[in-house]
Structure 1
Amino acid sequence: MAKPKLLVSLLLIVITAIGFGNAAWLSVKAELAQVLIKRAWTETLQTGDQVRPWQWADTWPVGRMVHPNSNTDLYILEGAQGNALAFGPGRHANAGELGSESSVIGGHKDTHFAFLEKVNVGDALQLQTLDGVWHPYRISAKRIVDIQDQDLHVQLNQKRLYLVTCYPFHTISQNNHVRLVVELEPS
């Protein structure tokens, strides 16, 4: 009778070790991705070329964003689809170029854009563009939008920056259609 209990105990230990190992591996991959994205951004600024963080990447860094109040420093990737958003906030391709036109950047509420929960109107944010220039912005509005009932109200003919993430924070929902939109104006 002791052997089945021992086997079950060993099996549970192995399953637990595999689970923790997988979680640790995901964490290591996420940290490595940030190192590679930072390196690609540095090379992009030096060469002016689009540099992919790894050979098979289908995205590349197009900007950098710093929110001093929350000590947030993020690299913005091209594209706001899932493959880019897994590694950082992404610039919506249909919006304008960063720093010169209205731009929309999307990010996950539980990772890169978690800091948006605590930002305030008036907060400063710096945006570095492909030419290496830093552009100062201030948060001018925060609003909640149900995208089933209304659009995001992005003004494309003005120099604005829009940060968009799912809302509310700290909830799990597969069909979430509510967004937090943080609007920034040049300062």
Structure 2
Amino acid sequence: MRRSAVVIILVLTGLVLFGQGACIHVKALVAQLLLQRAFDATVATGLKAKPWSWADTWPIARIEVKRLGASAIVLAGSSGQALAFGPGHVEFTPDAGERGVVIYSAHRDTHFRFLQHVTIGDEIVVTRNDGKVFRYRADGASIVRFDASGIDPLSGGYELVLSTCWPFDAATSGPMRYLLHATLIADVAAAWANE
């Protein structure tokens, strides 16, 4: 009798832990579907569309790595609440296609899980919520402490940095960050500068 009670408790504990882990991934998936709908509405109307009535953020861009079939809707701001639903646009960094370093940040186990498979030379497509599309080419990666990235968002180039926690397979968070660096493809940057 005692042994069966222990087994039942262990099975129930395992189911609860599994359910909590699965909940994070289900929430991320459902949120991206709602965010995609809001993003499409914003592009179509030019008005900010919130993904749900109580949202304190809105979609500002879609990021895609077509070779991997990876796509995510980027939210305004990079607070913990925003990052629970999608990648966040780090405050005080330029918008995609503008001079400087655009920084998007997301969790390594949900929205930026695909970063571990991006290779140098991959094309990263960013579509802003005004419908403008910008193509970047991955040209490097670095691993840094969260407080020592060395990134100057107001530098003179046209760059994109995708940031997530490191290492990818860690079970707990830590101080290290993986940064994927990309540069706006030259023909697009030149056309944008001439506008």
Q: TM-score, normalised by structure 2?
A: 0.81
Give the letter aligned to residue 62 of structure 1.
I
**Any gaps of 5 or more consecutive residues in structure 1?**
none
Give runs of aligned pairs for residues 18-167 of structure 1, distance below 5 A. Answer: 18-19=16-17, 21-22=19-20, 25-102=23-100, 103-149=102-148, 151-167=150-166
The structure 2 residue matched to 1:178, chosen from 173, 176, 180, is 176
Q: Secondary structure at the match of 1:76?
A: strand
3-state SS of paired residue (2:53): coil
Percent of aligned positions that are identical? 32
Q: C-alpha separation between the residues in 1 aligned to 2:69 and 2:109? A: 16
The structure whose Rg is larger is 1
Which residue identity lines up with residue 58 of structure 1 in the other structure?
D
Q: Is the 8 A contact 2:32 2:72 kept in 1?
A: no
Shift of 1:89: 0.7
Mapped partners of 1:85, 1:24: distance in 2: 17
The count of residues paired between Structure 1 and Structure 2 equals 184
Helix, strand or coil at the partner of 2:158: coil
C-alpha separation between the residues in 1 aligned to 2:5 and 2:142?
A: 55
**Structure 2 unpaired stretches of 5+:** 186-195
Q: Relative to structure 1, is the Cα distance of residues 135 and 150 closer, same or farther in structure 2, using a 3 angstrom cutoff?
A: closer
CA distance in 1, matches of 2:147, 2:29: 35
Instruction: Return the alpha-carbon distance in structure 1 between the equivalents of residues 72 and 139 of structure 2.
Output: 20
- Structure 1-normalised TM-score? 0.84
Residues 40 and 51, structure 1, Cα contact 8 Å, conserved in 2: yes
- RMSD of equivalent CA atoms: 2.4
